Amino acid sequence: MTDPHRARVLLFCRAVGTGEALTAAYHTISDALAGTPGLLHNELLRDSTDPTNFIVLSEWESIGAFHSWESGTGHRDTTAPLRPYQDHSRGRPFGLYEVVGSY
């Protein structure tokens, strides 16, 4: 069973063309975030029915751990390479979810 205090952050992105630039930006950011306190892992997901649609899913120890990192000085600079790909069609390009159940 997963720790119920963990949090997931979903960043909705849209690629131009093949998505190679978006994928490269994801890898650059992931390398920079290695060892970030509270960050357990992240994944780049591509929509199987629309290959221009991506989600970056990150798992955090808690919402508090995510907020601590997000409010830090390096957050905006570190994540800047993905900013041009953020999909604002939902109103905001991200979702912050708390795990309330898991099997």
103 found inside a domain:
no
Q: How many domains, in total, are found in the chain?
A: 1
58 found inside a domain:
yes
CB 69 within 8 A of CB 37: yes
pLDDT (tens digit per residue) in 31-61:
999 999 999 999 999 999 999 999 999 999 9
Mean pLDDT value across residues 71-75: 88
Question: In angstroms, how far apart are the furthest CA atoms of the chain?
Answer: 39
Mean pLDDT value across residues 75-100: 91
Residue-number span of the structural domain to which 87 is assigned: 7-98
pTM: 0.90
24 found inside a domain:
yes
Question: What is the distance between the alpha carbons of residues 102 and 98, in angstroms, rounded to a whole number?
Answer: 11
Higher pLDDT, 102 or 83: 83
Would you say the C-alpha torsion 93, 101, 30, 49 has a positive or negative sign?
negative
Degrees, nearest 5: CA angle 45-17-91 = 60
2 found inside a domain:
no
Which CATH number fits the domain that encloses residue 57?
A: 3.30.70.100
